[in-house]
Chains A and B, each alone.
Chain A
Amino acid sequence: MSASAIFVLDLKGKVLICRNYKGDVDMSEIDHFMPLLMQHEEEGLLCPVMSHGSVHFMWIKHSNLYLVATTNKNSNASLVYAFLYKLVEVFTEYFKELEEESIQDNFVVVYELLDELMDFGFPQTTDSKILQEYITQEGAKLEVAKSKVPTTVTNAVSWRSEGIKYKKNEVFIDVIESINVLVNANGSVMSSDIVGSIKLKTMLSGMPELRLGLNDRVLFGLTGRDKGKTVMMEDVKFHQCVRLSRFESDRTISFIPPDGESELMSYRINTHVKPLIWIESVIEKFSHSRVEIMVKAKGQFKKQSVANNVEVRVPVPSDADSPKFKTSTGNAKYVPEKNLVVWTIKSFPGGKEFLMRAHFGLPSVENEEAESKPPITVKFEIPYFTVSGIQVRYMKIIEKSGYQALPWVRYITQSGDYQLRTNV
Chain B
Amino acid sequence: MQEWANQLCENRQFGSKMTDSKYFTTTKKGEIFELKAELNSDKKEKKKEAVKKVIASMTVGKDVSALFPDVVNCMQTDNLELKKLVYLYLMNYAKSQPDMAIMAVNTFVKDCEDPNPLIRALAVRTMGCIRVDKITEYLCEPLRKCLKDEDPYVRKTAAVCVAKLHDINAQLVEDQGFLDTLKDLISDSNPMVVANAVAALSEIAESHPNSNLMDLNPQTINKLLTALNECTEWGQIFILDCLANYTPRDDRESQSICERVTPRLSHANSAVVLSAVKVLMKFMEMLPKDLDYYGTLLKKLAPPLVTLLSAEPELQYVALRNINLIVQRRPEILKHEMKVFFVKYNDPIYVKLEKLDIMIRLASQANIAQVLAELKEYATEVDVDFVRKAVRAIGRCAIKVEQSAERCVSTLLDLIQTKVNYVVQEAIVVIKDIFRKYPNKYESVIATLCENLDSLDEPEARAAMIWIVGEYAERIDNADELLESFLEGFHDESTQVQLQLLTAIVKLFLKKPTETQELVQQVLSLATQDSDNPDLRDRGYIYWRLLSTDPVAAKEVVLAEKPLISEETDLIEPTLLEELICHIGTLASVYHKPPSAFVEGSRGVQHKRLPGSTESGESESPDTASAAAVSDAPPAVIPSQGDLLGDLLNLDLTPPTTAGPPPPASSGMQMGAMDLLGGGLDSLMGDESEPLGGDLGGSPAIGAGFGAPPAAMPASFSAPVSGGLDDLFDLGGGVGMPMGAYSAPKTVWLPALKAKGLEISGTFARRSGVIQMEMTLTNKAMSVMTDFAIQFNRNSFGLAPAGPLQVLTPLSPNQSIEVTLPLNTVGPVMKMEPLNNLQVAVKNNIDVFYFSCQYPISMLFVEDGKMERQVFLATWKDIPNDSEAQFQIKDCHLSSDAASNKLQGSNIFTIAKRTVDGQDMLYQSMKLTNGIWVLTEMRVQAGNPVYTVSLKCRAAEVSQWVFQSYEAVLKN
Report which A residues bind B (CB closer than 8 A).
1, 14-17, 20-24, 44-49, 51, 54, 56, 58-60, 71-79, 81-85, 104-109, 111-112, 115, 119-126, 134, 139, 142-143, 146-147, 149-150, 153-154, 156, 158, 182, 184-185, 190-191, 195, 234-240, 243-245, 247-248, 263, 265-266, 268, 270, 370-375, 417, 419, 421
Contact = CB atoms under 8 A, between A and B. Distances in A.
A184 B373 contact: yes
B195 to A, nearest CB: 8
Contacts, number: 273
Nearest to A246: B263
Interface stretch (B490-498, B579-587, B792-800, B958-966): B579-587
A46 B348 contact: yes
A185 B152 CA distance: 60
Contact of B260 (A120, A245, A265): A245
A68 to B, nearest CB: 12
B118 A146 contact: yes
Contact of B586 (A72, A77, A85, A371): A77
15 contacts: A14-B4, A48-B317, A49-B590, A76-B241, A76-B586, A79-B234, A83-B271, A107-B55, A124-B196, A125-B232, A147-B115, A154-B153, A154-B192, A190-B339, A195-B310
B599 A54 contact: yes
A112 B80 CA distance: 11
B583 A107 contact: no
Given A1-B199, A72-B600, A156 B230 contact: yes
A197 to B, nearest CB: 10
Contacts of B599: 54, 72-74
B640 interface: no
A60 B383 contact: no
Contacts of A268: 303, 306-307, 310
A104 B590 contact: no
Given A150-B118, A150-B153, A81 B345 contact: no
Given A111-B88, A122-B196, A44 B270 contact: no
Given A22-B167, A108-B55, A190 B374 contact: yes
Contacts of A120: 128-129, 160, 163-164, 200, 203
Contact of A78 (B88, B163, B318, B374): B318
A48 B55 CA distance: 31
Interface of B: 1, 4, 8, 17, 19-21, 24, 48, 52, 55-56, 59, 61, 79-81, 84-85, 88, 91, 115-118, 125, 128-129, 131, 151-153, 156-157, 160, 163-164, 167, 190-193, 196, 199-200, 202-203, 206, 229-234, 237-238, 241, 260, 262-264, 266-271, 274-275, 303-304, 306-307, 310, 312-315, 317-319, 339-340, 342, 344-346, 348-350, 370, 373-374, 377, 380-385, 420, 583, 585-591, 595, 598-600, 602, 659
Contact of A240 (B24, B156, B268, B317): B268
Closest 5 CB pairs of A and B: A235-B303, A105-B19, A244-B263, A74-B595, A123-B234
Given A81-B318, A115-B84, A419-B344, 19 more contacts: A15-B61, A16-B59, A44-B349, A48-B313, A48-B317, A58-B314, A59-B314, A76-B241, A104-B24, A108-B55, A122-B196, A124-B156, A142-B80, A142-B81, A184-B377, A234-B306, A235-B306, A370-B420, A372-B381
B344 A44 contact: no
A256 to B, nearest CB: 12
B240 to A, nearest CB: 10
Nearest to A315: B345
Contacts of A49: 317, 587, 590-591
B238 A372 contact: no
B85 to A, nearest CB: 7
B970 to A, nearest CB: 29
A244 B345 contact: no
A49 B602 CA distance: 20
Contacts of B234: 79, 83, 122-124, 126
A139 B81 contact: yes
Contacts of A184: 373, 377
A419 B345 contact: yes
B276 to A, nearest CB: 10
Nearest to B380: A373
Contacts of A375: 345
Nearest to B307: A235
Contact of A134 (B118, B128, B314): B118
Nearest to B196: A122
A191 B359 CA distance: 14
A237 B81 contact: no
B146 to A, nearest CB: 13
A32 B524 CA distance: 49
Nearest to A268: B307
A111 B262 contact: no
B88 A107 contact: no
A240 B339 contact: no
Contact of A44 (B238, B385, B598, B600): B385
Contacts of B303: 234-235, 268
Contacts of A239: 268
B256 to A, nearest CB: 13
A123 B56 CA distance: 25
A58 B588 CA distance: 13
A418 to B, nearest CB: 11
A183 to B, nearest CB: 11
A123 B192 CA distance: 11
Given A82-B269, A263-B268, A107 B315 contact: no
A179 to B, nearest CB: 13
Nearest to B373: A184
A236 to B, nearest CB: 5
A191 B340 contact: yes
Contacts of A266: 268
A313 B368 CA distance: 32
A108 B583 CA distance: 37
Nearest to A178: B310
Given A268-B310, A373-B381, A46 B349 contact: yes
B451 to A, nearest CB: 22
A81 B273 CA distance: 13
A13 to B, nearest CB: 13
Nearest to B116: A147
A84 B313 CA distance: 13
A191 B585 contact: no
Contact of A108 (B20, B199, B319, B380): B20
Contact of B151 (A22, A59, A104, A149): A149
Q: Identify which of B21, B206, B314, B381 gathers the most chain A CB atoms within 10 Å of its CB.
A: B314
Contacts of B304: 235
Contacts of B163: 120
A124 B121 CA distance: 13
Given A119-B125, A190-B374, A263-B268, A105 B4 contact: no
B153 A122 contact: no
A108 B267 contact: no
Given A48-B350, A76-B241, A78-B319, A240 B88 contact: no
A78 B345 contact: no
Nearest to A74: B595
A337 to B, nearest CB: 17
A139 B48 contact: yes
A156 B91 CA distance: 31
A134 B587 CA distance: 34
A109 B88 CA distance: 12
Contacts of B20: 104-109
B359 to A, nearest CB: 12
B278 to A, nearest CB: 10
Nearest to A71: B587
A245 B263 CA distance: 5
A1 B153 CA distance: 21
Nearest to A240: B233
A373 B383 CA distance: 11
A146 B589 CA distance: 44
Given A1-B199, A46-B348, A77 B8 contact: no
